[in-house]
Amino acid sequence: MKNKMRIFALIIFFGSIWGFSEIFIGSFLADQELPYGIIMTGFFAMIFLTLSRIIYNQKGMQIAIGITAGALKYFNPFVGCNVCSAIAIMAEGLVFELIWNYFMNYDFSQLKSIKMKISIGIFTSYMVYVSGFILTQILTPLIYSNFYFENLISFMPQIFSKGLFAGIIGGLSIPIAFSLSNINLSLKDKIYYREGRLRINRLFYPTTFGISAICWIIVLANWYIFIS
């Protein structure tokens, strides 16, 4: 029987480290004039969302992870439109969820071949990036002044073009996430079988909640320092 507390702990954990990396790693990459949006979605978002899906194959979890990451990203002092970037990251979680719910069966049996992992990586990463980008392009003008549809249409080739690089990175990230899932992380489960015996992973809750708390404290402290 699935434990709701374990699912909740993993949602908070993955959402927090995703939001944290969006704020700090994303801002660092932007300062270096690197394509941070492409890297953040193609690599970090894909790794976190895929790992969470593999570790605990629970439908709806990736939406909740996106909401948690978006809530944390709202407290990013380095961007102009906090609400827009927060909603965009939530939408990324939703798009991932929709694609994986449709294409994946429960045991990921169709993902045994590397070709399938690469294909799902390319498609998911491309769609997640493009949809997040489009949403930001709609929300930002709406919040600051007016949204003009023709401005979005004329920018669509740029969005589709940038999505290509996010897709390629995603095609590499998802096979990496699958190989990472083979490492016996202390996050994997609270109770597991090894050598025929039932064992309890006592580090599960302290690890997930502890790391999540650290992420939130650093982000909120940074936000407080910046605005004051």
Residues that bind another protein (CB under 8 A): 79-81, 84, 102-103, 105, 109-110, 115-116, 118-120, 122-123, 126-127, 136-137, 140-141, 143-146, 148, 150-151, 154-161, 163-165, 167, 171
Q: Which is nearer to another protein, 21 or 136 (CB)?
A: 136
Q: Which is nearer to another protein, 1 or 153 (CB)?
A: 153
* Ramachandran class of 199: left when φ > 0, alpha when ψ lies in -120 to 50, beta otherwise: beta
Q: How far apart are CA 62 and CA 90, in angstroms?
A: 9
Q: Which is nearer to another protein, 15 or 167 (CB)?
A: 167
Measured from the CB of residue 30, what is the shortest distance to another protein in angstroms?
9
- The candidate with the shortest Cα–Cα distance to 13, out of 221, 224, 206, 200, is 206
Measured from the CB of residue 103, what is the shortest distance to another protein in angstroms?
5
Measured from the CB of residue 194, what is the shortest distance to another protein in angstroms?
31
Q: Which is nearer to another protein, 127 or 187 (CB)?
A: 127
Measured from the CB of residue 12, what is the shortest distance to another protein in angstroms?
29
Give the residues across from 118 on adjacent strands. none
Q: How far apart are CA 159 and CA 118, in angstroms?
A: 21
Measured from the CB of residue 13, what is the shortest distance to another protein in angstroms?
28
Q: Which is nearer to another protein, 17 or 177 (CB)?
A: 177
| Amino acid identity at 21 | S
Residue 197, φ and ψ in degrees, nearest 5:
-120, 145
Q: How far apart are CA 192 and CA 181, in angstroms?
A: 15
Residue 138, φ and ψ in degrees, nearest 5:
-85, -45
